[in-house]
Chain A
């Protein structure tokens, strides 16, 4: 990709990411009662000034449900990304620097988690416990900890092998400062941004997927982009807006988060080179 295209991609995906963040925050404070929203006078209306994206099969405003639907993945996605990056970063720094039985045990545990097929594991978890979306997000974040930890560990080991860490201890820095500030914060941030964005997209994917399937995830009448798309099964061609809008939102949001993470990380890595 040329610089020009990647700049454009960064701007577009960045705009979507910012928009999703803003909408996600706004949705947290808007009151919405799905029962109140039902209106049998305005079933399946096309877009209009009153309903920008029309109404669904129960006369509910599609845009409102789209906005409110972000609640299902917004905080869970942030939480999942944060868990992966924070725990993965710490685990990577620790296993890259320390030695001894605790380190070996942690490396073994990370390897074990890394062998789990993530999606299968989450679906299995659903069939056993039917967990809430936030819990699924926590699990998803944990499942990505080994990925982050491995890359951070390699970075730490590379710097340790050229005596970087020892030289800075000799100079008077504490290992914590060297590992957390010098290595994680200043040198690993592109990787961490990429992984956090990826896990956010992953949580959105899992949430909407489960909610679409219907047995797990967010249940009607509460809105989720996933259960909104699921209306396609009942509408039978009667109207496209109620499921098309969330479907597009899902694809665009996931694609934007992945692209944004990658492009920011690539730019960051170039700048650090």
Chain B
């Protein structure tokens, strides 16, 4: 995958991350990231979607070196993120930031909004004096619409306000990449809308977002490219204009899109009924080398390629401009009549 037409900002190659095992391998190993490649261009807004547990948060953390990797390489502005020494990493941390899914994580429970802003500005803008910090605090709080809440502690802020404090602190660093993990989850519709508007408003030509979200509405509104993950792998990488039942190709993406459309139409049917039809008909032993969707894939069964799918890893196929899909079914004859 590459961010064509843009200078690269982040390049992840062959990233593998496993959890668990421990000293005696008691819990079994989770391959949270299974050989993932991802590029993000300067100023690009990339959405990362996929069911819960598919590795989205882990990928976000890996890009920012917030967790270790088993193997693979990540570069940010051309610099190897995992090889960076303490000083280089400190410089990098100013340029890539993360809004955590758990909004409490971003805020000190005992500090006021102003104190937290002051602390961030001291850390990232040491050149500013007291007056400069005060002025910047006001500017940033105004940008996120929190001027009136400067003297509150987190406990008296709403969920949306807490996230905005997190964003205001991040803006003190002048980042080039913000990873936002489920920035609208747990917010009611009106606050969600405000948050989306704010994210759009804060965006400038140099700032890239990696937006992790289940919320296809949010994804459609602000992203340019959508990356779909399943069980630790990226399975489709599609321009946002094509996001939908008619534009996407991977059977799992289609399942997500169908479910979303059904929800939007308020149809009584559920995700499982639509997409798992026929999946149980044929059982195979799916190896970890195979396609992560093989166990559930109706397409593979219809095309009679299940044994291949279950044992070989599908590589990416270009199916259009800036659109790649990892699925054997796409190159098989008879594909159009399916799914």
Contacts and interface: CB of A to CB of B under 8 A. Distances in A.
Interface in B94-134: 94, 97-98, 100-102, 104-106, 108-111, 120, 123-124
Query: For the side of the interface on B, what is the size category?
Result: 20 to 34
Contacts of B101: 163
Contacts of A173: 123
B173 interface: yes
A103 to B, nearest CB: 13
Contacts of B100: 163, 166-167, 170
Contact of B108 (A163, A169, A186): A186
B66 interface: yes
A172 B109 contact: no
Contacts of A166: 61, 66, 100, 105
A182 interface: yes
Nearest to A182: B108
Interface string A162-191: 111011011111000000001000110000
A112 interface: no
Nearest to A166: B66
Interface string B216-246: 0000000000000000000000000000000
A22 interface: no
Main secondary structure of the interface of A (DSSP, over half): helix
A170 B111 contact: no
B111 A164 contact: no
A162 B102 contact: yes
Interface residues of A, number: 15
Interface in B9-43: none
B109 A187 contact: yes
B94 A172 contact: yes
Contacts of A272: 109-110
Interface string B253-272: 00000000000000000000
Interface string A250-273: 000000000000000000000011
Given A170-B66, A170-B98, A171-B93, A164 B123 contact: no
A173 B170 CA distance: 12
Given A162-B102, A163-B102, A170 B97 contact: yes
Contacts of A170: 64, 66, 93, 97-98, 100
A166 B179 CA distance: 14
Interface of A: 162-164, 166-167, 169-173, 182, 186-187, 272-273
